[in-house]
Amino acid sequence: MDAEKTLHDEIAKLVRKKEALEQQWRELHAETLQAKGYGRQHQQETDDGRRLTRPEGLFQYDRLPGISFFQPNDPERLFRESLRTIDEKSDTIQQPSMPQLLGVRFDVMKQCVHENSNTSAAKNASPRNAFDVPHYIIFRVSDNSFDIYKHTLPNYIPMHSLARQFLQKGGKCTNLRAFLLHTQQSITAYACRRDMVKQIKTQAPKYAEIRADLSCTRVSIVLRNSWRAKIVFRADASTRLLRAVVHIRSSHGWEKAALLEAQLVHEREWLSLLLRAIRRVEETIALQDPSPSP
């Protein structure tokens, strides 16, 4: 009985010691994260004035919306392995430095946020639950630094300027999470602009001349010799307009539509206003020229 009691006491002591060590490890781990800036709380104000408190840190990367991570194959691995040398003094193999690769995938839905989902433009937009072509960035990771190795982003996505802002300060990674979020916002903004241009082309009459640059930031619309407009999107990751120039043909020549220009720039639902203006011009042209459109 004494031996059994002694054994139970020893087991109880080991259990208490294990619990104490686990608690000590948790406290040390929390102090390490706090010292590195992980897990800090920051407040962010939403559009409706509410303030949200969200954690920051590398452990939150796997929860970024529309962003996923993977381990890519290193195409230079075999070449680096061929550079291995043998130290004759120590008779050991000297392995060259082999930085790790980190792959990031950006996914965006084809149908972005529309201004009014009840409009016919929204109904004719891209189908629901359909993803756009994904974009990728491959990083070289070494000593907490992230260097862009390969990517599939087009030139009009400001990836390199964002990298200089968030990744290349003193040769160390300053804020990878901010870089990924800003890059995702730029990709999403481009997809939304492209979708809006598609809506304009869908709703405009067949004889309308609609042109846009590759980034869909500058759009030109001409309706025969009666109406023309040029719109320029903001440079930030948004779908609001920076400038709008609209001219209407009258008996006195071309006249500026100053009120419509101001509404397009300042109104959040500028796309609906533009489509309504195009439909009014289309109706006027149809009254003036009842012949079928070519």
Whether 99 and 136 have beta carbons less than 8 Å apart is answered as: no
Whether 95 and 136 have beta carbons less than 8 Å apart is answered as: no
> How much of the chain, in percent, has pLDDT values that exceed 90?
30
CA–CA dist 207, 248 (Å, integer)? 17
Classify 125 as helix, strand or coil.
coil
Only one residue has tokens 């916002």, namely: 185
CA–CA dist 245, 259 (Å, integer)? 11
Whether 187 and 153 have beta carbons less than 8 Å apart is answered as: yes
When comparing pLDDT for 5 and 204, which is higher?
Answer: 204
- Ordered by start, the domain boundaries in the chain are 54-85+99-203, 204-288
pLDDT band at 111; cut points 50, 70, 90 = low
Q: Is 172 left (phi over 0), alpha (psi -120 to 50) or beta?
A: beta
pLDDT in the model for residue 55: 38
Q: How far is CA 14 from the centre of its chain?
A: 51
pLDDT in the model for residue 132: 85
Q: Which tens digits make up the pLDDT trace of 133-142?
A: 899 999 888 7
Q: Which tens digits make up the pLDDT trace of 235-252?
A: 777 788 999 999 999 888
Whether 118 shows a pLDDT value over 50: the answer reads: no
CA–CA dist 25, 183 (Å, integer)? 36
pLDDT band at 233; cut points 50, 70, 90 = very high
Most confident of 5-19, 116-130, 138-152: 138-152
CA–CA dist 21, 23 (Å, integer)? 5
Give 274's contacts (C-beta < 8 A, 6+ positions apart).
Answer: 200, 229, 231, 264
pLDDT in the model for residue 78: 66
Q: Which tens digits make up the pLDDT trace of 194-231?
A: 999 999 999 999 999 999 999 999 999 999 889 999 99
Whether 97 shows a pLDDT value over 70: the answer reads: no
Which residues on neighbouring strands pair with residue 101, listed in sequence order? 140
Q: Which tens digits make up the pLDDT trace of 20-55?
A: 877 776 666 556 545 544 444 444 444 444 444 333
SS3 content of the chain, % helix, strand, coil (to 5): 40, 25, 35
Provide the mean pLDDT of the chain: 76
When comparing pLDDT for 219 and 2, which is higher?
Answer: 219
